[in-house]
Amino acid sequence: MINVVSAYAPQVGCAMGKKEDFWSELGEVMNSVPKGQKVVIGADFNGHVGEGNRGDEEVMGRYGVKERNEEGQRIVDFAKRMDMAVMNTYFKKREEHRVMYKSGGKCTQVDYILCRRVDLKEIEDCKVVAGESIVKRHRMVVCRMTLEIKKRKRVRAEPRTKWWKLKKENCKVEFREEVRQALGGSKELPDSWETTADVVRVTAKRVLGVTSGKRKEEKETWWWNEEIQESIQRKRMAKKKWDSQRDAESRQEYKEIRHKVKREVAKAKEKEFDELCERLDTKEGEKDLYRLAGQRD
């Protein structure tokens, strides 16, 4: 999550109350952003932070412009309160790439880009683009950032016994006989439940099987069946043929197959939804209802 704040501070000649209101409102905006989220402030602060950073090394570099004024001190104080850094001052540039405001022969630095100090390592450059004027006498300030996106490690699921196969009568009969034989052919259970439980688990894995432990992708396509899969494959082959030949015949063939697949997918969805609606009225349909709710969530 990246929060971008655009701001315009009152000019030097404005009333003190107006200036205090601005910094108070900007502080409220910053306090509303959670600590873990990135923030970039791009603003015309109408102040000069000045050249050098003695005493302010934690929030600015050494490459500012000219002398600091009262408004510039407000910028530095704000950066310290919010644990931010003034990016314009961290990169050694020629003066034409540091000065963004020109008027009447005067060159100043009033437009700044601020970011959190913890994100300084992601800032690659910050400079003024010479000759690119956004508004009268103001040049564009550009900051280049490289955002590191951390990929979540995919957790491998544990293989599970396919107990649901016991709903099938043939699996149920086979499982019962295998357990009975494993227990010595007796209809009476052993006194030790741990022994019985181990026999049941081992027999279930052998008879019913276990899952692969891989995550299922595209869970929302539970209406997918073998016919649809074959149709999709035919469409892909037709698309490859058209891409390679680029003639009218292959294009027409791909177009017809594509429309056919759309119709088949629509019919498959409709059929599955009809059957689902019928199952939801039964006790077994409760699992389907929870599954749908989970997918929505």
What pLDDT was estimated at residue 218?
Answer: 47
- Residue 159 is which amino acid? P
Query: Angle 226-245/248-279 helices, nearest 10 degrees?
Result: 160
Q: Write out pLDDT tens, residues 14-29.
A: 999 999 999 999 999 9
The HSE-up count of residue 59 (CA atoms within 13 Å, CB side) is 20
Angstrom distance (rounded) from CA 222 to CA 220: 6
Model pTM score? 0.51
Alpha-carbon torsion, ordered 237, 243, 244, 247, to 10 deg: 110
DSSP string, 63-88: ---S---HHHHHHHHHHHHTTEEEGG
CA 88/CA 85 separation, integer angstroms: 9
Residues of the chain with pLDDT under 70: 101-105, 132-136, 154-156, 187, 214-224
Structure tokens at 82: 């919010």
Determine contact, residues 64/49, Cβ cutoff 8 Å.
yes
What is residue 171's three-state secondary structure? helix
What pLDDT does 131 receive? 73
Model pLDDT, residue 219: 47
Contact present, 126 and 144 (Cβ < 8 Å)? yes
Q: d(Cα 171, Cα 153) in Å, to the nearest integer?
A: 37
**What are the C-alpha distances in Å from 95 to residues 108, 129, 180, 226?**
10, 11, 89, 67
Strands (DSSP E) contained in the chain are 2-8, 38-44, 84-86, 101-103, 106-108, 111-116, 123-135, 138-145
Task: Give the Cα separation of 164 and 171 in Å (integer).
Answer: 10
